Structure 1
């Protein structure tokens, strides 16, 4: 395998690995197979030094591609890395299939240049598949861009407002039927879009909208483990939230804490902890757990409503956590004032020990990966980016049967890949609050075991990136077990 399996907390941080693998692409654009509960197809910002139309030539240009967690695929298209995108959703969030020939361009809205997208370019007139809905059959392009006033809704454009600069195939599939379409579709199969006339294991066939086959073919052979120079490059990208999504704030709400308390505590936490450089967030989380435990003990067991946390006590817990740390390394300038406010917040809301326990398990962490573009380190409750009733993200808490079903779908999808990908990347989606944290280690272990089996990999092929949330191998949930 030319690339590596690289678990990372957030998907956009894997972009440098993609471009490193692209050194072997021989100037060919890649096909991306993206397995995820969300599309990750948002628009990147056209910031200074963004590499428009070319691979990044410097570290600064590379950094501009690592913006918000769901913008990295469009960045890869604009930099001429990718020509085809397959998005494969789990059955629980998406139950149909669509195929487009799409384009990205640059438009100007209110004197600001920004990325725009057009769907429905008519290049598939001869496509006779009925396994996917081809939006290309309509007359007009559907063009849109980010609505800066309301980011959850696109700003609709006319086709002449969005130049078709970067063309790409875009296919959305669901896990129930994805493997059949990837293998047998006359127009959208992997073999077709990878231009593999030499690899044709089975006769193409037409499927219905449910992916049913009148005569199932014999089992396919495993992927070819030798990558030929005449093959198109292939990137396999896996997000662990394919196997389930949990909105972490629900844990706090179910414990009886209200949303106003959560917002207030978040604000106070960000004014207590101000790391001036990279510090392992595990250390900050340990201090946070000690603080809220100490405040609770003062209030409920000593009947003392005053915070008695002083400088010496903080130094003691700092040295237990990491002997090299100083108060000025972690705490804000006026942290004592906000420790008092945290104490008052707990008193006014009559916090129970069960709620303290839930707050400890949620913990505090950086709101983004440390290498996110222009990110200033900020510590908050580790809730992720989506609050209940303020998110378009669906929650799905899998039981064992769901995990088994998704594992089967995942394996079937991998077995449609005709040769080893140039690189396989994995995103934990833990810091952004998607993958159920109590299942994250098991989900990751399952993914890695399937990858090893299908592509004949070993532990030596797996690289864990820096700055992962929680334990390097076990994740955030098991960080103190």
Structure 2
């Protein structure tokens, strides 16, 4: 499951606090070794050194690219005592619930904290399952999702404040053959209801997870007596306006809540990053062909290599652009125009230069092969596609660039996953609601966010901000404004959030300045 699909209330109730299926089964030892490899390659030593000092002086704010990456910062904060190991309240301000299910539960700590970095890595499976993973480990007891007004149509069957008690545990299943198996079960009920007969608690409704590829509420309904409970918690979904009203009234979030704050930049809006390519008239088949060829030519395993791969692609695009801008059809050039034959010949002559730059110097760690002939063939194939594109299409490709499909810290990270950087969230392959805000709406949402944060009765112990650019959610054209607006809201609302509070994750796409501004 690549994109963060919207889920109905019942699904999110259960999956916000539990994950209950394995859609992908690997040998357990392979999974453990993979976690060890990723953890070894991405030690968080710098974070652990940073946090003790941060705790004494100001609230740490961690800026991440992909949402699952908050887990490493949360559990590092636990290690040094910035936040408690269990029982925290997560205030999640986001355009999406992120209430999905971990792909593989056999490697996720359940009803206990992770023992080490290896287990934290095993929880980092996707951008929409990190909350369930953290809740299963006991870190989160109360989950509050504040959703924006532009997402109203996905809440048309709900009130503006839905609140549920949740219980999670085990049920023993006895197959006809083999040993008994323990399966997760979950119970939920709406919180206290007011009726004409007075206040009363609703009845618990419980489900047994029946097998793979099903949501918890799709399993058989069972008696609560058949679920051996291990943890309790609560889940709330509240509109931004209702959240403001509840905070102004008081008593909703109190000083007793051990608060963690999490803000996604796609709270402001959501737009597929493939749109500049579509608007330039590039078909998905051409985009996919370029991705396929580049994935065979360049083998990228780190964010540093990712940046270099995009720089190489940028140089290739500009070489083609300079020739196309001077061809006889363009009318853009200065001086004698170039025929199609001239452009073709010039690009063929450039192939050895491109290949030699891959085999030595700045880009020498990028090629999948050291064989000059195979690199020549792949380079020629890439140039053939680019040569047939219009100037506007080349400019759109240069703007979007090439990147990894997910950060190397993702537990299911696949090597050789370089592609045209549009993320999985394409219009024909997603159920996600798109919304591109105008400038006035951005300013209005910023003021509302400042009010929300300033009304919190206590400051959060840790703050995480997610960019959501790599996976194609946050509108690129608004990225700079949105991030600065969120940072400003945090500093205005919390006196202990200073400039030095902000820690920019090592896996940010395009580094600290971000992907849309990487060439500036």
TM bracket (short chain): 0.7 to 0.9
Which residues of 2 match residues 235-246 of structure 1 at below 5 A?
Answer: 235-246=260-271
- Distance of 1:301 and 1:119 partners within structure 2: 69
Q: What's the counterpart of residue 393 of structure 1?
A: 432
Q: What's the counterpart of residue 101 of structure 1?
A: 165
After TM superposition, give the deviation of residue 315 of structure 1 in Å: 3.2
After TM superposition, give the deviation of residue 399 of structure 1 in Å: 0.9
1:175 aligned to which of 240, 263, 277: 240
- Does residue 314 (structure 1) correspond to residue 355 (structure 2)? The answer is yes
Which residues of 2 match residues 82-481 of structure 1 at below 5 A?
Answer: 82-94=140-152, 96-105=160-169, 118-120=187-189, 124=192, 139=203, 141=205, 143=207, 155-159=218-222, 164-184=229-249, 189-191=252-254, 196=255, 231-275=256-300, 279-295=304-320, 297=323, 300=340, 302-304=342-344, 307-316=348-357, 323-326=361-364, 328-332=365-369, 334-346=374-386, 350-377=388-415, 378-456=417-495, 457-472=497-512, 474-481=513-520
Question: 1:354–1:166: structure 2 CA closer, same or farther, 3 Å change rule?
Answer: same
Contact 1:244 1:436 in 2 (8 A): yes
After TM superposition, give the deviation of residue 386 of structure 1 in Å: 0.9
- Distance of 2:423 and 2:303 partners within structure 1: 20
Of the structure 1 ranges 107-116 and 257-266, higher mean CA displacement relative to structure 2 is found in 107-116
Question: 1:437–1:104: structure 2 CA closer, same or farther, 3 Å change rule?
Answer: farther
Question: 1:425–1:248: structure 2 CA closer, same or farther, 3 Å change rule?
Answer: same
Contact 2:62 2:464 in 1 (8 A): yes
- Distance of 2:140 and 2:312 partners within structure 1: 44
1:56 aligned to which of 114, 139, 142: 114
Q: What's the counterpart of residue 14 of structure 1?
A: 70
After TM superposition, give the deviation of residue 407 of structure 1 in Å: 0.9
After TM superposition, give the deviation of residue 362 of structure 1 in Å: 0.4
Q: Which runs of 5+ in 1 are unaligned?
A: 197-230
After TM superposition, give the deviation of residue 6 of structure 1 in Å: 1.0
1:36 aligned to which of 94, 100, 105: 94
Contact 1:146 1:154 in 2 (8 A): no
Aligned residues: 427
Of the structure 1 ranges 176-185 and 155-164, higher mean CA displacement relative to structure 2 is found in 155-164
Residues 97-136 of structure 1: per-residue CA shift (max 9 Å, x gap): 211112345689999988665432x6635699x9xxx9x9
Contact 2:171 2:183 in 1 (8 A): yes
Q: What's the counterpart of residue 222 of structure 1?
A: none
Contact 1:28 1:233 in 2 (8 A): no
SS at match of 2:163: strand
- Distance of 1:119 and 1:391 partners within structure 2: 28
After TM superposition, give the deviation of residue 285 of structure 1 in Å: 0.3
Of the structure 1 ranges 306-315 and 83-92, higher mean CA displacement relative to structure 2 is found in 306-315
- Distance of 2:219 and 2:107 partners within structure 1: 27
Of the structure 1 ranges 49-58 and 452-461, higher mean CA displacement relative to structure 2 is found in 49-58
- Distance of 1:142 and 1:294 partners within structure 2: 62
Q: What's the counterpart of residue 215 of structure 1?
A: none
After TM superposition, give the deviation of residue 46 of structure 1 in Å: 3.6
After TM superposition, give the deviation of residue 174 of structure 1 in Å: 1.1
Residues 28-59 of structure 1: per-residue CA shift (max 9 Å, x gap): 51000000000011111345542222111112
SS at match of 1:395: coil
Residues 1-40 of structure 1: per-residue CA shift (max 9 Å, x gap): 7441111101110112212223344555100000000001
- Distance of 1:176 and 1:404 partners within structure 2: 15
TM-score, scaled relative to structure 2:
0.73
Contact 1:32 1:84 in 2 (8 A): yes
SS at match of 2:142: strand
Question: 1:304–1:413: structure 2 CA closer, same or farther, 3 Å change rule?
Answer: same
SS at match of 2:314: helix
- Distance of 2:267 and 2:121 partners within structure 1: 27
Contact 1:46 1:113 in 2 (8 A): no
Question: 1:374–1:304: structure 2 CA closer, same or farther, 3 Å change rule?
Answer: same
Q: What's the counterpart of residue 328 of structure 2?
A: none
Contact 2:185 2:206 in 1 (8 A): no
Residues 229-265 of structure 1: per-residue CA shift (max 9 Å, x gap): xx44210000011011111112111111112222222
- Distance of 1:392 and 1:99 partners within structure 2: 24
Q: Which runs of 5+ in 2 are unaligned?
A: 1-53, 325-338
After TM superposition, give the deviation of residue 332 of structure 1 in Å: 4.5
After TM superposition, give the deviation of residue 414 of structure 1 in Å: 0.7
